[in-house]
Amino acid sequence: MNVLVINAGSSSLKYQLVHVENHAVIAKGICERVGSANAFHKHGIDENEVVIDAQMADHDAAMALVLDSLINSDDAPIKSLDEIDAIGHRIVQGGKYFDKSVLIDDDVIEKIDELAELAPLHNKAALMGIRACQKHMPNIPMVAVFDTSFFQTLPPKAYMYPLPYEYYEKYAIRKYGAHGTSHRYISERAAVVLDEPLEDLKLITCHLGNGCSMSAIDHGVAVDTSMGLTPLDGLMMGTRCGAIDPAIVPFLMEHENLTTSEVNDVMNKKSGLLGISGVSNDLRSVRDASEGGNERAQLAYDMYSNSVKKYIGAYIAVMGGVDAIVLTAGVGENCEKMRRMIFAGLQPLGIILDEEKNRQRGFEREISADNSAVKIIIIPTNEEYMIALDTFRIVEESEIDRDI
Ligand code: AMP
């Protein structure tokens, strides 16, 4: 089955065409700056990628370009849109309605719209992607895969905030988490690498990229996660501050004369690695600066690793132990220095990094020392494949139901 995976952002449209049974990406690309004069379209895999300046007034126009490149480009992977069997959409916020991926119908669309209050930019963008697909491919089944659904298993003691209860009742303010598709994928793959059933394992999963989140997964069930009502909570990130004393918000608004949207901007776009180092949100640049003697860059490195370390401790306590710590995303997969700093000093907890294995490159691999009670594993994340797989399973099931 060929599944078109769509990840629509407020001004972007990312896509992959995946042949599920072959585990193969047969086309991919992204339309960026959708709706602005300098929009462009990147299409192609690795060295075959081409970048084309293109006019796209909205997501509908971007989708038309994407579909055209799938059937008409020089290396077109398919001859007609009939070769697309299903479409999987990444949706950021599924609220309390969705604890798993679902076939998209009018009711699902209505709920995604209703939930836009909790993720305004993301859910509205996803709806634009869904509507564009409905217009261009009206008869192809579509599935919604939610970033939050993996965390619907959290118990109330983990998802509630100690605020007046009425705000939960009135506004559904609670922890929803994010990056759930990534945490689900890497926990499932970790069980395969460890050659043990997921249901027998206590895992701490760490998605460390520009956005960062960690989860405690107890016997296959997510019991806690670091992102909250929004993806701003938890770990220090590329440009997001993560958890800070909430009293800092009114303090800054008062002393810097900031509006709510300006203070939001500070916490989402000007903080984290960028805010502390003053160099970049990109860890590679921060690393180069720190190695060149930039003290603020070194401080940013120290703070980032310390923030991961604290969640490791917290989640060991939450689960009463851990069998494996799983790392993924740009930093988790690639930055040996950050991994060294995260795991330094954790020997008393039975967590020992193997320095040599940590230096090696590769795909899915274990990097803990032979005498480490807790395994440390790297799993490159693959959210698109997970979305394609969910779509495949749900569409197959619905076809079987229809046949019955
Ligand atoms: P992601 O959001 O998963 O794309 O991750 C982006 C982050 O990963 C950025 O901060 C990059 O600097 C970081 N990153 C990617 N490759 C490397 C690398 N080889 N060494 C250090 N950091 C890296």
Q: What is the pLDDT of residues 33-60, one digit of tens each?
A: 999 999 999 999 988 899 999 889 999 9
Average confidence score pLDDT of the chain: 95
228 is in an annotated binding site: no
Query: Residue 394: left if φ>0, alpha if ψ -120 to 50, beta else—which one?
Result: alpha
Across the chain, which distance is largest between two alpha carbons, in Å? 68
Provide the domain limits for residue 38: 2-146
Confidence check: pLDDT of 135 > 70: yes
pLDDT at 97 over 80: yes
**Tokens (6 digits) for 68:** 């055209």
In a domain, 391, yes or no: no
Q: Which residue stretches of 137-247 are H helix?
A: 156-159, 165-171, 180-194
199 and 142 housed in the same domain: no
> Is residue 164 domain-resident?
no
Cα(161) to centroid(ligand 1), Å: 32
Residues 121 and 201 in one domain: no
Sign of the dihedral through C-alpha 212, 215, 221, 223: negative
Same domain, 368 and 223: yes
Does 269 score more than 90 pLDDT? yes
12 vs 378, which has greater pLDDT? 378
Distance 46 CA to ligand 1 centre (A): 17
Is residue 325 classed exposed, middle or buried when 0-12, 13-18 and 19+ CB atoms within 10 A define those classes? buried
Asked if residue 300 has its Cβ within 6 Å of ligand 1, the reply is no
Q: What's the gap in Å between 99 CA and the centre of ligand 1?
A: 30
Say if ligand 1 is within 6 A of residue 288 CB: no
Q: Which of 213, 184, 214 is nearest to 386 (CA)?
A: 184
State the helix-helix crossing angle for 180-194 and 383-403, rounded to 10 degrees: 90
| Residue of 147, 224, 233, 390 marked active site | 147
Phi, psi values for residue 318, rounded to 5° = -60, -40
Residue ID of nearest Cα to ligand 1 atom 14: 330
The pLDDT, as a whole number, for residue 10 is 83
265 lies in the same domain as 117: no
Looking at residue 310, which CATH number applies to its domain?
Answer: 3.30.420.40
Residue 180 Cβ inside 6 Å of ligand 1? The answer reads: no
For residues 142 and 210, state if they share a domain: no
Tell me: pLDDT of 117 over 90: no
* Residue 155 forms part of a structural domain: no
Distance 183 CA to ligand 1 centre (A): 18
- pLDDT of 101 above 70: yes
Q: Are residues 245 and 113 in the same domain?
A: no
What is the C-alpha R_g of the chain? 22
Cβ of 284 below 6 Å from ligand 1: yes
Answer with the residue of higher pLDDT: 119 or 142.
142
Residue 404 pLDDT exceeds 70:
no
**Is the domain of 133 the same as that of 215?**
no
What percentage of the chain reaches a pLDDT higher than 70? 99
Find tokens 């590769």 and name the residue: 362
Domain assignment present for residue 183? The answer is: no
pLDDT band at 120 (very low <50, low <70, confident <90, very high): confident
In the predicted structure, residue 400 carries a pLDDT above the cut 80? no
Q: How confident is the model at residue 118 (pLDDT cuts 50, 70, 90)?
A: confident
User: Are 113 and 244 within one domain?
Assistant: no
Q: How far is the centre of ligand 1, averaged over its atoms, from the C-alpha of 171 (Å)? A: 35
pLDDT tens string 228-243: 999 999 999 999 999 9
DSSP state of 374: S
Per the annotation, does 334 bind a ligand? Answer: yes
Identify which of 335, 336, 379, 384 to mutate to test ligand 1's pocket (most ligand atoms within 8 A of the CB): 335
Instruction: Give distance in angstroms: CA of 47 to centre of ligand 1.
Output: 20
Q: Which atom of ligand 1 lies at the shortest distance from residue 285's CA?
A: 12
pLDDT of residue 301: 95
User: Is any ligand 1 atom within 6 A of the Cβ of residue 331?
Assistant: yes
Q: Could you tell which of 207, 279, 283, 290 is best to mutate to test the pocket of ligand 1, judged by most ligand atoms within 8 Å of the CB?
A: 283
For residue 334 and ligand 1, the question of a CB distance below 6 A is answered with yes
Would you call 147 a catalytic residue per the annotation? Answer: yes
| Domain match, 203 and 126 both | no
CA atoms within 13 A on the CB side of 148: 25
208 appears as a binding residue in the annotation: yes
- Are residues 255 and 361 part of one domain? yes
pLDDT in tens, 153-208: 999 999 999 999 999 999 999 999 999 999 999 999 999 999 999 999 999 999 99
pLDDT given at position 362:
82
Q: Quick check: is 312 in a domain?
A: yes
Provide the number of structural domains found in the chain. Answer: 2
Structural domain ending residue among the three candidates 122, 146, 170: 146
Q: Model confidence over 337-378: pLDDT tens digits?
A: 999 999 999 999 999 999 999 999 889 999 999 999 999 999
Residue 287 domain-assigned (yes or no): yes
Confidence of residue 287 (pLDDT cuts 50, 70, 90): very high
Measuring from atom 4 of ligand 1, which residue has the nearest CA? 330
CB 327 less than 6 A from any atom of ligand 1 = no
Residue 402 scores a pLDDT above 70: no
34 CB-contact burial (10 Å; exposed 0-12 / middle 13-18 / buried 19+): buried
Whole-angstrom distance, CA of residue 388 vs CA of residue 385: 5
| Together in a domain, 355 and 234 | yes
- Alpha helices per DSSP H over 89-214: 106-114, 120-136, 156-159, 165-171, 180-194
Q: Would the CB of 335 count as within 6 Å of ligand 1?
A: yes
Q: What is residue 121's predicted lDDT score, i.e. its pLDDT?
A: 76
Q: Does residue 394 belong to any structural domain of this protein?
A: no
Find the 283 Cα to ligand 1 centroid distance in Å.
6
pLDDT of residue 399: 80
The reply to whether 115 and 31 lie within a common domain is: yes
- CA angle (1 as vertex; 93, 327 as ends), nearest 5: 50
Closest CA to 70 of 80, 61, 57, 62: 80
Report in angstroms the alpha-carbon separations of 96 from 1, 258, 341: 30, 33, 37
Q: Is residue 176 part of a domain?
A: no
Provide the 8-state DSSP code for 220.
Answer: T
Straight-line distance from the first to the last Cα atom of the chain, in angstroms, rounded to the nearest whole number: 21
332 is in an annotated binding site: yes
Task: State yes or no: 90 annotated in a binding site.
Answer: yes
